[in-house]
Structure 1
Amino acid sequence: MTSKAEIDRTTADAEEVNNGPLTGVRILDLTSVVLGPIATQILGDYGAEIIKIENLDGDLMRSNGVSLHPGMSSIFLAVNRNKRSLAINLKTAEGVEVVKRLIPTVDIFIHNMRVGAIERLGLGYEAVSKISPDLVYCAAPGFGQSGPDRDKPAFDDIIQAACGIASLNSVGRERPDYAPTLVADKTAGMAVVNAVLAALFHKTRTGRGQYVEVPMFETMVAFTLAEHLGGLTFDPAPARAGYARLLSGGRRPAPTADGYIAILPYTGDHWAAFFKISGRPDLAEKFSVDDRQARNKLITEMYSALTEITRKRTTAEWVEICAELDIPVTPLYGIDDLIDHPHLKAVELFSSADHPTEGPIRFVQPPTRFSATPARVRFHAPVLGQHSEEVLREAGYSEQEIVMLRERRIVGGAVPRLE
């Protein structure tokens, strides 16, 4: 079996090419859908080597979104780059054994299964830590394991409803609704990145691994209540939960003569300048713009006045005016418009490349910049099981053993269509 030290030496030889800050870190990724894959993709963008374990049918997200070919959807492509795919039947003892043979070769083990399910596979923390005591083991379940909901399934909709986001989306509407983005999955995914990096730093300093739990529900409650804990901050509570400025509905996109604009006079000077250039200096006095507390109490009325004023000029005119006054402003962009956003074009956030199986694709570059160890897209999302044989060889399997595992459907994956 190939040792971690041997793999590290191979990685070091390629360091000049793969020089992200996590170069040399090797991760076994048993995550699926969005929460886990977006976390491991970020770690991969930072240079870590990611071995993505998939069942023989592949990650569910291979089928969600827009597809040119089965199993390679737009969402899968967006959150699974910089990974190698190993397709294994974990319902078999032989499939689990493959994972166990890989464990000593990695630094980090990440999964977002229900904890009971992965323990039944024999891949819970206690079992895995016996194989590799210095491993960083990260579980990202739906709910914390010390509570009564620990075994419940969780998806983005469920967590949005449970953590208060769907309820907040009922303010000013006839009924509650989900945010039209996978906010719980993606936010919890970034929390996984933070937690794993902290544990990896601890391991670097002490040589010791540990168990890390990032529960989706608790993560999103903390995220939501950062501004909305409100009166419940104090005991006894002088007011209900909620950030009144947001819940009052004061701020919203403002109509212009030809569309909408997001405009945010934030200081008293901003408001005074805005009312003056709009020909309504009297409103600055009426709303006591120099007194922040008085201004906050009248915020709904102030924004009602603002939206009447913004109707009188075009979006482009307001952008120019606000730029002169240093008032935060932007036109509203639809998601189809973002690829042509002048700032995003200037910083080259979007790139195009030929995917080995999907042909020309557009993708978003890692937005985080490192001056000395740049994050980068080294290769695009893999075909299911594209690297099965390669990873098995690294784990010490012979060619005969690999053929046997394929024939018995322990390991699978299609051979990629290289066009």
Structure 2
Amino acid sequence: MNFQPLKSIRVLDLTSVVVGPAATWRLGQYGAEIIKVESPDGDLMRGLGGQSPTGQHSGTYLHLNRGKRNICLDLKTAGAQLVMQRLIAQADVIVANMRPKALQKLGIDAATVHQKYPDKIYCLLTGFGTDGPYGGFPAYDSVVQAAAGIPGLSLARDGVPRYMPLLICDHVVGEIAAGAIMAALLERQSSGGRTIEIPMFETMAAFVLQEHLAQQSFVPPVGPAGDRRLLSPHNMPVQTSDGFVAVTINTDQQVRAFLQVTGRAACADDPRFATIAARADNVAAWFELRGAALTSHSTAEWLDIFRKADLAAMPCHTLQSLPADPHLQAVGLIAYEEHPTEGRIAVIRSSLRVDGADVPTRSPAAPCGWDTRSVLNDLCFSTAETETLILEGSAHEHHH
């Protein structure tokens, strides 16, 4: 399977933690050559993302940094800045998630790059848009979640504000960044370079408001903000005799089938639940009925019943049961391989299928400085120049 639409594209990856690496990982999935620049301290996510045999390759780091060549540079040195200028010169795309002031100080911000190379696509990932009052504020996923009102949704529903226990803002914004970069690459022949800024706060606020501006989307408003179905405290997986099952019913036909198979057929004649409009008007009562426990059968038995009734239903997996899901095992979402320093590791393959085949997984995430020598060689530094850069501490290498 040879799906590499970005094969001729070089991406200079000046990102760390999750949002930037997620964006460049996706570009790498499509065949781009990614050169990741790390400082001698290494990407924070190498350790922050959890334990690993060497303490240098957390699971999160491994999964988001596959298929990237790794060069380790101390950007505070003149030698590393010379290397950086050559890296920028040969890149089609530069992706950065350092704070704008830090990029300006190093002379690798979008304006400075475009003065010299107007055809570059420069993607800056920020916590908050640089032209707003929060521009330049530090940001992590949880801070952005809170600012965008995500814990506020669970506050409205449960009385307690909770972060979603997933780096959802980083992943969503990283994917949007990859899409924007590909769109800019498409138009580059006619329009030249672009500076793309993707602020996490505005992006996630828009996501929340697309669903929850709701009745306030009209002037004058026709009701309060918030999708009342999503905010119902009864909108959660349903308890069974041995766990939980997720079942979602929306159409009138699905509702009648659900009430029939759960022994509540009499409720189908209740005018509060008979139509989509009636259920919207009586959403609290409907979700209470829909979310009531189903402890007469096991999860497996309910899944069988719901599937026979052609209803959308799935088990409510845990972190322990998800990798063992028979469907995920059948499609081979997780495979295993040898890592140069970590031993045997899990590989999460791309979920895309192209022309009926899986997109191949790329090389494992490398130790810091693993490709320093080969990248310097590609940038036409002589062997003597490379030795000098390493000896003076401008570049660092990992000894294979």
TM-score per shorter chain, which class? Answer: over 0.9
* Deviating more after overlay: 175-184 vs 281-290: 281-290
Residues 1:186 and 2:166 aligned together:
no
Alignment match of 2:303 (pick from 297, 312, 319): 319
Residues 1:68 and 2:53 aligned together:
yes
| Structure 2: distance between partners of 1:380 and 1:295 | 50
Alignment match of 2:242 (pick from 243, 258, 263): 258
Alignment match of 1:334 (pick from 312, 318, 337): 318
Cα drift, residue 111 of structure 1: 0.2
CA contact (8 A) 2:273 2:286 kept: no
Instruction: Report the AA paired with residue 5 of structure 2.
Output: P
Alignment match of 1:88 (pick from 67, 73, 77): 73
| Structure 2: distance between partners of 1:278 and 1:247 | 24
Residues 1:165 and 2:162 aligned together:
no
Instruction: Report the AA paired with residue 220 of structure 2.
Output: P
Cα drift, residue 297 of structure 1: 2.3
1:150-183 CA distance string (max 9 Å, x none): 1111111110110000111223434212111111
1:100-141 CA distance string (max 9 Å, x none): 111121110000111121011101112112332211110001
Residues 1:229 and 2:213 aligned together:
yes
CA contact (8 A) 1:138 1:213 kept: yes
| Two-structure CA RMSD over aligned residues (Å) | 1.8
Q: 1:373 to 1:88 in 2, by over 3 A?
A: farther
Matched residue, 1:115: 100
Matched residue, 1:7: none
| Structure 2: distance between partners of 1:306 and 1:169 | 19
Residues 1:44 and 2:28 aligned together:
yes
Give the match's secondary structure for 2:337. strand
| Structure 1: distance between partners of 2:113 and 2:399 | 31
| Structure 2: distance between partners of 1:278 and 1:253 | 15
Instruction: Report the AA paired with residue 267 of structure 1.
Output: T
1:32-82 CA distance string (max 9 Å, x none): 000000111111111110000011111001112121103111111011000
Matched residue, 1:78: 63
Cα drift, residue 303 of structure 1: 3.3
Cα drift, residue 199 of structure 1: 0.7
Alignment match of 1:28 (pick from 9, 12, 15): 12
Residues 1:271 and 2:255 aligned together:
yes
Cα drift, residue 314 of structure 1: 1.6
Cα drift, residue 225 of structure 1: 1.1
CA contact (8 A) 1:21 1:375 kept: no
Residues 1:368 and 2:362 aligned together:
no
CA contact (8 A) 1:339 1:345 kept: yes
Instruction: Report the AA paired with residue 123 of structure 2.
Output: C
Residues 1:387 and 2:371 aligned together:
yes
Give the match's secondary structure for 1:360. strand
| Structure 2: distance between partners of 1:373 and 1:341 | 21
| Structure 2: distance between partners of 1:47 and 1:39 | 13
Question: TM-score, normalised on structure 1?
Answer: 0.91
| Structure 2: distance between partners of 1:18 and 1:259 | 42
CA contact (8 A) 2:16 2:97 kept: yes
Cα drift, residue 292 of structure 1: 0.9
Alignment match of 2:84 (pick from 95, 99, 115): 99
CA contact (8 A) 2:65 2:365 kept: yes
Instruction: Report the AA paired with residue 366 of structure 1.
Output: S
Structure 1 residue ranges without an equivalent (≥5) = 1-16
Give the match's secondary structure for 2:288. helix
Matched residue, 1:147: 132
Matched residue, 1:412: 396
Matched residue, 2:110: 125
Cα drift, residue 224 of structure 1: 1.2
Give the match's secondary structure for 2:72. strand
How many residues are aligned here?
399
Instruction: Report the AA paired with residue 38 of structure 1.
Output: A
1:161-212 CA distance string (max 9 Å, x none): 1000011122343421211111111111111111111111111x41611111
Q: 1:207 to 1:370 in 2, by over 3 A?
A: farther
Q: 1:369 to 1:415 in 2, by over 3 A?
A: same
Matched residue, 2:43: 59
Q: 1:166 to 1:385 in 2, by over 3 A?
A: same
Cα drift, residue 409 of structure 1: 0.6
| Structure 2: distance between partners of 1:143 and 1:91 | 26
| Segments of 4+ moved more than 4 angstroms | none
Q: 1:287 to 1:96 in 2, by over 3 A?
A: farther
Cα drift, residue 263 of structure 1: 1.0
Cα drift, residue 309 of structure 1: 6.1
CA contact (8 A) 1:251 1:300 kept: no
CA contact (8 A) 2:252 2:274 kept: yes
Question: TM-score, normalised on structure 2?
Answer: 0.95
Give the match's secondary structure for 2:393. coil
